[in-house]
Amino acid sequence: MSQPSSIDRLPSEVREALQGWLRDPAITQTEATERTNALLDELAAQQPEGKPAEYVSRQAVNRYDQRMRAACERLAQSRQVTEVWADKLGSVPAGQFGHIVTEMLRMLVFDLAYQIQGLQDRVIDEKSLPGIVASANKVSLMAQRLERSSEIAVRRDREIKRQAAEEAEKAKAARRVPATPEKVREVIREIYGV
Same domain, 118 and 41: no
Q: Residue 102 has what pLDDT?
A: 64
Of 91, 109, 130, which closes a domain? 91
Distances from the Cα of 27 to the Cα of 18, 65, 142, angstroms: 11, 13, 42
Residues 109 and 83 in one domain: no
pLDDT at 36: 93
Is the domain of 44 the same as that of 81? Answer: yes
- d(CA 7, CA 5) in angstroms, rounded, equals 5
Task: pLDDT band for 27, please (50, 70, 90 cuts).
Answer: very high
- From the number of C-beta atoms within 10 Å of its C-beta (0-12, 13-18, 19+), residue 36 rates as buried
Residues of the domain holding 181? 94-194
Q: Could you tell me the pTM of the whole model? A: 0.46
